[in-house]
Amino acid sequence: MSYVRFVNAPERHLTLVESGRLSVPTPCTGNRLVFDMTQLLPPGDGPPRALGRGPAFSTKKRTLLAIPVLGLVLLMVLWGVIGTRLSAERTSGFEDSANSAAILSSALEQHTVKAIHQIDQITRFTKFEFEKAPADFDLENAVRKGLVQSDVLLQVSVIGPDGQLRHSTGERLPNDVHSVPVDLSDREHFKYHVTHDTDTLYISKPILGRISMQWSLQFTRRLNDRDGHFAGVVVVSVDPRYFTTDFYNTAALGENGVIAVISDDGTVLARRTGSPDPKQRFSASGRYPPRMQLSGVIKDPLDNVLRIVSYRHIQGYPLGIMTGLSVRDELAAYRHTRNVYLLMTGFMSVAIIGFLLTAMLLIGKLMRREREMTILAETDILTGLPNRYQSLRLLRGQVGVPENVGQIALLMVGLDNFKTVNDSLGHAAGDQVLIKTAGRLSDIAARLSSDVFILARSGGDAFLIALKGPSVQDEATRLAEAIAEALQPPFNVRGIPFVLNASVGIALHMDADENEADLLKKADLAMYSAKEAGKACFQFYSPHLARRADRLMKWEQQLRVALAQKQFFVEYQPIFDLADRRVRGFETLLRWRHPEQGLILAGDFIPIAESTGLILPLGDFALDTACAQLALWRAQGYAALSLAVNVSSVQFWRGDLVDTVRRAIAKHGVPPSQLELEITETAMIEHPELVSEKITALKALGVRIALDDFGTGYSSLSYLHQFPVDTLKIDRSFVHAIPADRSVCSMISAIVGLAVSLGLAVVVEGVENDEQAAWLSRLGALDVQGFLFSRPLSALDASAILAQVGLSARALPALVHTAAPREPLKPADAAGDLPSLQLR
């Protein structure tokens, strides 16, 4: 099986040479790669996946036909939205008008109640004056004195018990004869009071006055003599327009509004519309439906105008008030809005139809371009394999099937040391290696008996292979071994043969709840586990890999929080002169005061900080804090005190270490010769040239360099010759075995002798008992540190121990550290001749 073939073609641009085939120039030759895009999967996987005129193309045709349908749906939705909006506007208009009518009816109610109370006061006053002295009662005198208001009524009358008019404030018409009595005994209000011995106010229907000859409303009360017998009726005649004329406001009620005072049986007592009668004729005539029906939108039976009506019954009186707003007036704004909406919607509909016609012409072209873009989006152009996106999509379809649990394996193949190819031969050569690798993997997948349904390039130097079968674990193992075997033949690029191995991570789909991303993550973790195990091997995923990755991620986040919240601090472990047991200097040790786990030592978090790059700000913090403390001790009189700071290998090849040290020294004003940077052997092994360059630059600043943990790595005498170090620090792993272990004693003796001969200072770490100190003291003038002398201390405690034991008088040589002559060692203390110093 082959995904890639070469053809000769002079063009240099990307073209589709055939239906379903993609042509692209190679990065390093004039040839072109032609990818057969009609088969993205190896043979034996069922029907080929067609990216040309297959099901996908039919789907696109259906999509094209769906555009006019969608356009019609859009038009329907548009008109539906406009209709809904107009309906809402109309409903809102009705609601607002109903609220306005209710407010106006409430105001009219208060106005009417106030007017009735004023009229009722007149009836009560007249009744009081009459019943107090019937013989002396003079109605006209009461009016003259202002006790009866005449500007709100037509007349005030008193009818005797026989129904004859006794007193009246009204004027007779010119043809009236004063001698002719006026009989009012036939009036309904007179008959009511004759038969009802109550002190209630009676309100009549509109009647034509026999004295005033005008239509009026009669407000009456019964009069009694001193014995409580019927003595007549007091009558206040009021013009019906009094209740409506002053209240009607065209701005509030409109030109076709109406207000009315209505009795409980529907008789109109007073009524006013927006078109006043120029002759001021009485319009209180006719009847309305019962009051329970005088609410909502009704057609006025008196003038056939459709109005929004609000009715209120006046408590304590047999009448109510009504306000009505013309629907025509109230919905004028709505009609204007409706016309605007309909006009705009019409224009939009025309525009949409025009757009749909134009779109249908353009989409045909766009669909052809889309097919090309789909190929580019789902395919790795370099190798012709499916890319990460397409592989995840295919994997999703298989992982989502419950029957496939336990029958799918995903292999992540990562080329080892591929970066070396790019760095040494260039990226064009690296691209050729990836193309050849894809071809070899394709051949392997074609020969495999299981169902390989994905072969893809995940990105960079990583490839994905997914297979399915009943014995998928065994097949995955055979496939990983086959991959290793297939990569053994050297790649030949530009005439240069070289071999690349691969680390393979294998993840089995064993959990029905996991998705394709989970399976990919497991394969990725397994691949990195294979790289950590020495590369050129394969590893199956196990849960501890995910737990470790999660743990590292959580620690990284906590480290970032700790940096932001300043949870790190520095402790100082004294370095003692073994001869006089006084302080020579201090080693700076970074600590983490975790809010939950308490004190965390550097060995527990420094590896994580190095892997995440957080060691750079941590190292800057430790260096700055150390220089600040050294400046403080110098100010206290300890001018000869030195301070050692550990430097990570990451700081050498990622950080601007030289400038950082220069800034710290200048900032705190400390002599460079009293600052010592401790570098591990590991840093020298990984980046010897870079380390040598930066050590030279640091030495130019005047800083001392110490080789830390000497003997724990792959120690070589060449380091002492190649790197200009000043101090050699013997690791604590050697010290715990002395003086009992003769071979260790011999090695330490040899290291000290060599260091002295090279003019290096020697510091022995991890001295924890007197026997170790006594044996080391025989080797000469050494510096030591360990729990026997002092644990790491805070700055305050370190100052205290300085004051207690004092500073060593032996000067630290800048270039040569001489050792005192050694006494001959006892047999228990030495191991004979010096070893060759090939320590590990």
CATH number (domain holding residue 800): 3.20.20.450
- Can you tell me the distance from the alpha carbon of 199 to that of 606, in angstroms, rounded to the nearest whole number? 104
Residue 454 CA to residue 260 CA, distance in Å, equals 87
Q: For residues 693, 698, 701 and 703, what is the CA-based torsion angle, rounded to 10 degrees?
A: -150
In a domain, 834, yes or no: no
Q: Does residue 632 sit in the same domain as residue 733?
A: yes
Q: Is 431 helix (H, G, I), strand (E, B) or coil?
A: helix
φ, ψ dihedrals at 409, nearest 5°: -125, 140
Rounded CA-CA distance 441/482 in Å is 9
Would 643 be classed as within a structural domain? yes
Listed residues 541, 563, 595: the one ending a domain:
541
Q: What is the CATH number of the domain that holds 491?
A: 3.30.70.270
Quick one: pLDDT at residue 284?
54
Instruction: Please provide the size of the chain in residues.
Output: 840
755, part of any domain: yes
How many angstroms separate the first and last alpha carbons of the chain? Answer: 49
- Claim to verify: residue 529 and residue 570 sit in the same structural domain: no
Domain of residue 624 covers 553-805
What is the predicted pLDDT for the residue at 61? 64
Q: Note the pLDDT of residue 583.
A: 93
Residues 559 and 536 in one domain: no
238 has which bridge partners? 217
Q: Are residues 718 and 746 in the same domain?
A: yes
Encoded tokens for 344: 């705009």
> pTM for the full model?
0.48
**Residue 633 sits in the same domain as residue 520:** no
Q: Hey, what are 520's tokens?
A: 């990919």
Tell me the C-alpha distance between 710 and 754, whole Å: 13
Q: Are 837 and 754 in contact (CB under 8 A)?
A: yes
Question: How far is residue 799's CA from residue 795's CA, in Å, rounded to a whole number?
Answer: 6
- The pair of structure tokens assigned to 510 is 């064993």
Q: Where is the domain boundary, 485, 515, 541?
A: 541
- Taking the C-alpha atoms of residue 159 and residue 184, their distance in angstroms, rounded to an integer, is 7
Residue 179: burial class (beta carbons within 10 Å; 0-12, 13-18, 19+): exposed
- Asked if residue 635 and residue 739 are part of one domain, the reply reads yes
Residue 526 lies in a domain: yes
Number of domains in the chain: 2
Consecutive sets of 10 residues in the chain, 840 residues long: mean pLDDT of each? 31 34 37 37 34 48 73 88 89 88 88 87 86 81 62 76 85 52 86 88 84 81 89 89 75 81 86 67 67 75 88 87 88 88 90 83 79 82 88 87 88 87 83 90 77 85 89 88 89 83 90 87 87 85 78 84 91 92 93 90 85 87 94 92 90 81 94 91 70 86 88 63 84 87 89 87 92 90 91 93 86 41 36 32
Q: State residue 663 phi and psi, 5-degree precision.
A: -65, -40
Query: Smallest Cα–Cα separation from 128: which of 219, 234, 27?
Result: 234
Same domain, 524 and 560: no
Which burial class, exposed, middle or buried, applies to 682 when counting CB atoms under 10 A from its CB (0-12, 13-18, 19+)?
middle
Please tell me whether residues 445 and 589 are part of one structural domain: no
What was the pLDDT predicted at 33?
38
Same domain, 414 and 505: yes
Closest CA to 259 of 312, 329, 297, 206: 312
Beta bridge partners of 497: 492
Instruction: Give 3-state DSSP helix, strand, coil % of the chain, rounded to 5.
Output: 45, 20, 35
Measured between alpha carbons, how far is 602 from 199 in angstroms, rounded to an integer? 104
Residue 624 pLDDT: 94
Residue 687 has which token pair?
């980046």
In a domain, 432, yes or no: yes
* 100 found inside a domain: no
Taking a C-beta distance cutoff of 8 angstroms, is the pair 412, 523 a contact? yes
689 and 663 in a common domain: yes
Determine the Cα–Cα distance for residues 479 and 42; give it in Å rounded to an integer. 14
383 & 497 share domain:
yes
How many CB atoms within 10 Å of residue 420? 12
d(CA 719, CA 709): 13
Cα diameter, the chain: 168
Structure tokens at 86: 């107009």
Token pair recorded at residue 263: 């009795």
What does the pLDDT read at residue 352?
Answer: 86
Helix or strand or coil: residue 267?
strand
- What distance in Å separates the CA atoms of residue 221 and residue 189, rounded to the nearest whole number? 9
Same domain, 537 and 557: no
Q: Is 343 contained in some domain?
A: no
To the nearest 10 degrees (0 to 180), the angle between helices 55-132 and 332-378 is: 160
Residue 155's beta-bridge partner residues?
Answer: 237
The pLDDT value recorded for residue 623 is 93
Number of H helices, E strands in the chain: 23, 31
Rounded CA-CA distance 570/422 in Å is 42
- DSSP assigned state of 489: S
Which residue, of 506, 541, 576, is where some domain finishes?
Answer: 541
Structure-token pair, residue 616 = 């750079």
Q: For residues 22-60, b (16+ Cβ closer than 10 Å) or e, as one string?
A: bbbbbeeeeebbbbbbebbbbeebeeebbbeeeeeeeeb
> Residue 330 in contact with residue 97, Cβ under 8 Å?
yes
CA distance 341 to 634: 85
Name the H helices within 498-655.
516-532, 543-565, 602-612, 615-635, 649-653
Contact 312, 112 (CB under 8 A): no
